[in-house]
Amino acid sequence: MANPDFDKIRASNFTEFHYENSRRLSKISNHANNLKCGWKEVQWFFSLSFTVEHLNYKRWLKVLQQNNKAAHFCFDWNATYSGTGDYSFMEAYDWDSTEDIPEQKSVIADGLNIFKETFGEISRSFIAPCYNWDPSVEVVLKEHGVEWIQGLRSQLIPTGTFDQYTYLRHTFGETNSLGIKYNIRIACLSRH
């Protein structure tokens, strides 16, 4: 729903993450209004929030602070660098410390609010980038009206070490303690 604000990040000497959505918001809102002409009547489509960013910005900023040449090359072109580890910056809700969780909750709330501002309705469904998230963030989804969490058969719960997860199996239609249901993807169409 937003992109890194590269100018503000550079101005902070890569110590603060900022995102922008105001330039894109009017374009997206106009397109969304055109799409909404028929989608509600047909009721085939459900609103889905992905995230504010498909980016673990804490890890990304850390690499930028370390003057990683590849990361800075991409940054200079207003792009993110995918990291040296598989998906190392794409797993937005992976964490290195449980102290990251409150900030992740705030980011999720921001993303859901931007979604509502953009499309004029709440997101009824949510999917975490790379299918990993801590169960404690689900309360924020409930507070914002999310009814379904989309994922694979197993939720990847962060452990504090990149690419090492605790697997939590879900079944289609399973309901968590908050009343949110799980939607299990039966096909993975992404290259990753």
**80-102 pLDDT tens trace:** 887 777 666 888 999 999 999 99
User: pTM, whole model, 2 decimals?
Assistant: 0.80
Lowest model confidence (mean pLDDT) among 37-46, 96-105, 107-116: 37-46
Lowest model confidence (mean pLDDT) among 97-111, 113-127, 158-172: 113-127
Sorting pLDDT into bands at 50, 70 and 90, what band is 30? low
15-19, 32-36, 119-123, 175-179 — which one is most confidently predicted on average? 175-179
Q: 3-state SS of the chain? A: CCEECHHHHHHCCCCCCCEECHHHHHHHHHHHHHHHHHHHHHCCCCCEECCCCCCCHHHHHHHHHCCCHHHHHHHHCCCCCCCCCCCCCCCCCCCCCHHHHHHHHHHHHHHHHHHHHHHCCCCCEEECHHHECCHHHHHHHHHCCCCEEEECCEEEEEEEECCEEEEEECCCCCECCCCCEEEECCCCCCCC
